[in-house]
């Protein structure tokens, strides 16, 4: 398309073409570059509470699977189609040990071993001659995690510093989206939308603090990136918020309902993965954190978190289209970007730098060009996340440009957090909080 055509009035006819999606970043099926990258780490599949007396049909990374918990408590994740003659095991019978196909009674164990082929004559060696497709699956804090990669490279289940805090109440939740996984992940590196979508457009969906225009900073860190939003709340207080993303699909943010009260390195409010079902469907699956430091308890509600629901406006489908049009939420804006957002049709601005950075580091990771191994793929021991909210009492010095001052504060806080990366547990928290406190004396 020539430039004079693009700038022409009434150019709809000239701009009808919809180019192909960026398949390298968005496609997740077996043998695709992104599909293989995603298959190198554990992902939450469903909530433990979804595994009852019936199997659960799940689709993950373009594969049809079935999850179940047998009556001994063992969780299994099997290829959905029975390896006898293909009936779906979602109609299977959850047994004392394993899952039994309803058609001819074959019984499968969680590792794919075929325990029984009851229609075969006694002495038949059929069941020992092959295995059914199965993936490792474990329960962790109310979620079922699975690993779909090569057995030889199975990493340990990731541990996160912010999950080890016993005072946190962790409430599992999932949110299904009929769109590509990447546009959902990108939303977390696009914090400017909080002042439009969540504050100005229809109603204050989160809290008033989000309405202040932030200075934005994105930075590559080991295995991912951070996004820092720094806002002046009033003449005395500044709020700094850090979202932490770990490749390929993990993101953690601080409080959902910031109250603007003084706080120093308050930790996670939401820990989640964006899990692709296939190229045009995905789910956000993770935990909401509730504790007395994260002021979500004022407006958030653990009772509203669960399967396809979270305690904020517009996070799931199912509202009437009029309700969604009058008060659109994250779900509506992401799903309506098309089943797979078309990057070639976008016109990126300065506030899209985080999205562009994410695409670049994801592409490098899918091509195997990243320098260091990804923490979610290999790390043993707890991963220190940088997720935080700090509201500090600090005035802009006389004669200093306010935006410049916010950028400087952001740099100093980010450096303090980064400099404590090798410390662990309480000693890390103490060191970071002391460093941040020292900034207040200005
Ligand atoms: S198709 Fe499953 S046992 Fe025959
Ligand atoms: Fe949002």
Q: Which of helix, strand or coil describes residue 67?
A: strand
Q: Are 261 and 283 found together in one domain?
A: yes
Q: Are 405 and 325 found together in one domain?
A: yes
**Residue 349: per-residue pLDDT:** 96
Q: Which of helix, strand or coil describes residue 265?
A: strand
Strand partners, 173: 286
Q: Are 310 and 424 found together in one domain?
A: yes
Answer yes or no: is 27 within a domain.
Answer: no
Answer yes or no: is 306 within a domain.
Answer: yes
300 pLDDT tier (thresholds 50, 70, 90): confident
Q: Are 110 and 166 found together in one domain?
A: no
Tokens linked to 268 = 């996670």
Find the CATH number of the domain harbouring 425: 3.90.380.10
**Lowest mean pLDDT segment, chosen from 87-101, 141-155, 372-386:** 372-386
Q: Which of 319, 352, 297 is nearest to 202 (CA)?
A: 319
Closest protein CA for atom 1 of ligand 1: 85
Answer yes or no: is 120 within a domain.
Answer: yes
Q: Are 279 and 393 found together in one domain?
A: yes
Range of the domain at 316: 159-440
Alpha helices in 73-180 (DSSP H): none
Find the CATH number of the domain harbouring 138: 2.102.10.10
Among the candidates 146, 177, 202, a domain finishes at 146
Q: Are 413 and 373 found together in one domain?
A: yes
**Residue 294: per-residue pLDDT:** 59
Among the candidates 84, 116, 146, a domain finishes at 146
**Lowest mean pLDDT segment, chosen from 1-10, 28-37, 91-100:** 1-10
Answer yes or no: is 191 within a domain.
Answer: yes
**Residue 168: per-residue pLDDT:** 87
Query: Of 84, 88, 98, 120, which is best to mutate to test ligand 1, by the most ligand atoms within 8 angstroms of its C-beta?
Result: 84
Answer yes or no: is 363 within a domain.
Answer: yes
Q: Are 412 and 279 found together in one domain?
A: yes
* Rounded Cα distance, 344 and 337, in Å: 13
Among the candidates 100, 115, 146, a domain finishes at 146
Residues, beta carbon < 5 Å, ion ligand 2: 330
pLDDT at 2 over 60: no
Per-position b or e across 202-212, b if 16+ CB within 10 A of its CB? eeebbbebbbb
Q: Are 281 and 309 found together in one domain?
A: yes
Q: Are 114 and 255 found together in one domain?
A: no
Answer yes or no: is 24 within a domain.
Answer: no
Q: Are 198 and 341 found together in one domain?
A: yes
Q: Are 335 and 430 found together in one domain?
A: yes
Q: How many CB atoms lie within 10 A of CB 226?
A: 22
276 pLDDT tier (thresholds 50, 70, 90): very high
With a 6 Å cutoff on the Cβ, whether 106 touches ligand 1 is: yes
Answer yes or no: is 104 within a domain.
Answer: yes
What confidence tens digit (pLDDT) does each residue in 339-393 have? 999 999 999 999 999 999 999 999 999 999 977 789 899 888 899 999 999 999 9
Q: Which of 239, 225, 194 is nearest to 351 (CA)?
A: 194
Q: Are 224 and 316 found together in one domain?
A: yes
Atom of ligand 1 nearest to the CA of 86: 1
Tokens linked to 144 = 């079922």
Atom of ligand 1 nearest to the CA of 105: 3
- Give the count of domains, the chain: 2
With a 6 Å cutoff on the Cβ, whether 101 touches ligand 1 is: yes
With a 6 Å cutoff on the Cβ, whether 148 touches ligand 1 is: no
* Rounded Cα distance, 428 and 441, in Å: 21
């Amino acid at each position: 398309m020539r430039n004079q055509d693009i700038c022409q009035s009434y150019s709809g006819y000239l701009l009808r073409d919809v180019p192909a999606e960026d398949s390298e970043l968005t496609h997740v099926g077996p043998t695709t570059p992104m599909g293989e990258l995603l298959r190198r780490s554990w992902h939450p599949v469903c909530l433990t509470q979804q595994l009852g007396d019936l199997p659960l049909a799940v689709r993950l990374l373009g594969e049809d699977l079935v999850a179940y918990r047998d009556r001994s408590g063992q969780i299994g994740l099997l290829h959905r189609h029975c390896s006898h003659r293909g009936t779906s095991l979602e109609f299977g019978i959850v047994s004392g040990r394993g899952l039994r196909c309803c058609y001819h009674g074959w019984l499968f164990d969680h590792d794919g071993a075929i325990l029984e082929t009851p229609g075969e004559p006694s002495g038949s060696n059929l069941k020992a001659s092959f295995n059914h497709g199965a993936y490792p699956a474990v329960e962790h804090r109310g979620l079922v995690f699975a690993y779909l990669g090569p057995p030889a490279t199975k990493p340990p289940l990731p541990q996160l510093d912010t999950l080890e805090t016993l005072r946190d109440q962790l409430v599992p939740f999932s949110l299904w989206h009929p769109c590509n996984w990447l546009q959902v992940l990108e939303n977390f590196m696009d914090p400017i939308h909080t002042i439009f979508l969540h504050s100005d457009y229809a109603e204050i969906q989160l809290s008033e603090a989000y309405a202040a225009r932030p200075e934005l900073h994105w930075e590559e860190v080991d295995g991912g990136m951070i996004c820092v939003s720094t806002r002046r709340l009033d003449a005395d207080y500044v709020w700094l918020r850090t979202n932490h993303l770990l490749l390929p699909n993990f993101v953690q943010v601080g409080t959902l309902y910031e109250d603007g009260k003084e706080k120093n390195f308050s930790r996670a409010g939401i820990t989640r993965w964006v899990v692709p079902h296939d190229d045009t469907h995905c789910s956000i699956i993770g935990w909401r954190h509730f504790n007395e430091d994260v002021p979500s308890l004022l407006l958030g509600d653990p009772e509203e978190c669960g399967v396809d629901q979270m305690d904020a406006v517009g996070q799931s489908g199912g509202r009437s289209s009029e309700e969604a049009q009058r008060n659109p939420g994250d779900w509506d804006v992401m799903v309506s970007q098309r089943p797979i957002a078309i990057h070639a049709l976008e016109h990126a601005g300065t506030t899209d730098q985080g999205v562009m950075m994410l695409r670049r580091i994801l592409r490098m990771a899918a091509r195997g060009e990243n320098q260091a191994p990804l923490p979610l793929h290999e790390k043993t021991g707890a991963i220190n996340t940088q997720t935080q909210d700090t509201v500090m009492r600090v005035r802009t010095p006389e004669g200093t440009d306010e935006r410049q001052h916010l950028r400087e504060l952001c740099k100093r806080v980010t450096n303090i957090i980064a400099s404590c990366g090798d410390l662990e547990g309480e000693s890390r928290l103490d060191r970071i909080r002391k460093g941040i406190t020292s900034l207040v004396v200005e």
